[in-house]
Structure 1
């Protein structure tokens, strides 16, 4: 039966090889796993759609289709009106899928190769393509997926929505828009990020009673960031704590017309527990900053002036929010980037780094896909084609820890991947990245290591966005996250 999501995730080929190995270890026939898979999906259908009477199961080839035929047999035996729409001749199936097809026909089941009126069903099961998809979906399969998507009928995907790459989450031409995806045995990394987030619907995990054994013998590709990460890195403060224990964050940026960006970053650093926060910005902005947030220290700066005292004072830096592209910003960037303080680089700082590449091991880079494309000298589509590969390429080229923002933000440090399964579309608005940079810098200032600060920062940022979105996603502002950040780190 479906359970909460496990922490570890895997590449598709790891799951395919690992499920065979674990079946052998536990002396379980592979067909028994197919039967368990069909039962798990059917149980989820009954749980989420208890009034279902007419079920359409769309089958392709391979084991995904075999799961579909098991579901069809279970549904028929439960009294449901079942229609199987097969996109291939099921008599050409082999192995366990052929066995599942035979058992379906043995109980009186049949299939249609012509497209039914899909809108007349209560639920549609997507058992078309599995995790082995390697080419663009086209022809009859693409037409079937389009018809299913246009039906307005709830769709339950078996293991992965057909048309998604199980490793990257990229849509191979066209993909099923599932309302529920029941993923089996182990969590596939492609379901967690990028385009997959818009296609998977609610993600349900069914371990088929082998997940624990699978995890024992399989090295994960990465980890989901879990809710308990807070307790791990932000323990309760001593009653004798003082501000000197929690670091000093220096935020540099805010050229003319962009004071809000650096203000948001600094406010986020305060709200997540940094001991002291100072902003270096244009002279015209200092009064506005302290009026908006009197707890902030400010320092105006102009080219030719020294920043050595401020840089010596700081334990950690944020460079980039509202930095701009003027002579002022270029001079400030050169001074700040030369500092050996650990730092978070975002926004215009990333654009400058893309033009003046260097590698460091003491920084966290937080690009969105557009900034990532500039860092890599490619198109945004290339980044989104494989977000895991893109974040790895950024880290390899620039060092430190790379954070690729977006739906299913990915963190990578050269060895470990982590994915933040939080956030919502309301966070697609100006200033959200500025908030994140301040949160991460604050965590660094409180003693959290680079990778953990990036992972925890992404979690807190997305979770605060989810809390703020309870009042509505559309129109959500970056500053709406600030009170929720304070509550989350309490």
Structure 2
């Protein structure tokens, strides 16, 4: 499903292979310096971004480890010294142990008049900016000493931080923190973009992200299938073009929201209102009778009906084009009956909240191609028999496993939400901490229902919907701040975005 509205993401092993190919393509027979030439290009790109972000900086503290990531750091230090900046060059590993391109990079720093001082705990970092060139994408286990202490020193320094390629300690494939990780203000990554820079704990550590291909071309990657695609804002306009002038409500589908058990009406009201705001032709709500008056007051355009059981809802289920089931559904007989009726209806489904928990307890083997499952990490853990922390440690593996087991499309929510479907994995890097409040998932489920009703496939709807939901939250936070952001705020901003 790759398009101009997405960017390819790769795993660390794939990036190393692309790196090898780029070097091989540029090398002359017998040329051993091509790898170092690529390292210099990387260092120049990172240094240029440093100067763009912090043009007033006059002093740098550069911390270097032992591999090619360290080599980038040594060349950055040499570039800075060549421009007259004061450079504090700190070696966390002995430069004498460096090999290959990294050794050449250290020699470049030496020729620039720099001497790498051994880093020791307690060494003050005196740069206006700190450059993290400690650990790269090859880190496979928990950060060990002395790197752990060096990472702590960077984070405790109070100085702005540039991370070279990836913040040290962040897993390139999963975005997990391997014990501890640098909290960068700017990360410049090279050759190919990495999945781990966009999901898991990455938002807390990457800061502003700049990608520089360094001459890597599509032909060098043609046989390397990306592990995922980074979804871009343009996907919304691409998949939701302007409507024909002759349109009528029957062209844009009928969404039914099943939810709002007695005493739990808010979630279903949020979902149904959002479905209406996002362009569904018609929206019905089957909820406990006590919630009907609230729905009519809040959104009279939603056709709300009080249902005491499945028999009251059958006509609504038959009339719907897509069913959103789960918000406030509950897990007792009322909710179970409505969910079973939805499963038997043969209509596309958006399954959220209590319906996901009912899948675990009552339908553990059911899979289908026409639904969107929208678990947060805790719900995904219950579906897979794992803990939420295990899900977060490898979100890619979790969403793949869940999609393989349950079919259809799975949207694993959280920072760097992942969408897994038949076409592969999509990653949403939008969103903000203000979304950590009740009802956000209910709004998302209503939004997804509206998109499916308007003719998008479940997988495309999930990709468009996760971007639209997150960008609406970003718009709201930009205008009024993150704290106090309510789920009900999102529909109006999302409506603006789909009409932009």
Q: TM-score range by the shorter chain?
A: over 0.9
CA contact (8 A) 1:185 1:211 kept: no
- 1:319 is matched with 325
Q: For residues 322-401 of structure 1, what are the structure 2 equivalents within 5 Å?
A: 322-355=328-361, 356-357=363-364, 358-401=366-409
- 1:296 is matched with 302
Q: Deviating runs (4+, > 6 A) in structure 1?
A: none
The offset of 1:11, in angstroms, is: 0.8
Gaps of 5+ in 1: none
d(CA) in 2 for partners of 1:285, 1:419: 36
- 2:483 is matched with 474
CA contact (8 A) 1:6 1:187 kept: no
TM-score normalized by structure 2? Answer: 0.95
Note the alpha carbon deviations across 1:325-375, whole angstroms, 9 max, x for none: 222212222222222100100011111112222111110000011111111
- 1:48 is matched with 53
d(CA) in 2 for partners of 1:185, 1:456: 27
1:155 is the counterpart of 2:164: no
1:99 is the counterpart of 2:124: no
- 2:31 is matched with none
- 1:80 is matched with 85
Note the alpha carbon deviations across 1:284-341, whole angstroms, 9 max, x for none: 1111111110000012112362433111100000000011122221222222222210
- 1:411 is matched with 419
SS of residue paired to 1:139? coil
d(CA) in 1 for partners of 2:224, 2:336: 48
- 1:59 is matched with 64
SS of residue paired to 1:273? coil
Note the alpha carbon deviations across 1:103-149, whole angstroms, 9 max, x for none: 21123221111336434320000000000100101221101100110
- 2:118 is matched with 113
The offset of 1:414, in angstroms, is: 3.9
- 2:281 is matched with 275
CA contact (8 A) 2:259 2:326 kept: yes
d(CA) in 2 for partners of 1:109, 1:181: 24
- 1:462 is matched with 470
CA contact (8 A) 1:259 1:322 kept: yes
1:188 is the counterpart of 2:188: no
Q: For residues 162-311 of structure 1, what are the structure 2 equivalents within 5 Å?
A: 162-216=168-222, 218-303=224-309, 305-311=311-317
SS of residue paired to 1:120? coil
Q: CA RMSD in A?
A: 1.6
d(CA) in 2 for partners of 1:215, 1:472: 41
CA contact (8 A) 1:85 1:111 kept: yes
d(CA) in 2 for partners of 1:399, 1:326: 26
- 1:9 is matched with 9
CA contact (8 A) 1:119 1:152 kept: no
SS of residue paired to 1:318? strand
Further displaced range: 19-28 or 160-169: 19-28
CA contact (8 A) 1:420 1:458 kept: yes
The offset of 1:209, in angstroms, is: 2.5
How many residue pairs end up in the alignment?
A: 487
d(CA) in 2 for partners of 1:320, 1:301: 15
CA contact (8 A) 2:61 2:125 kept: no
Gaps of 5+ in 2: 29-33
Q: Judging changes above 3 Å, is the alpha-carbon distance between structure 1 residues 380 and 123 closer, same or farther for their aligned structure 2 residues? A: same
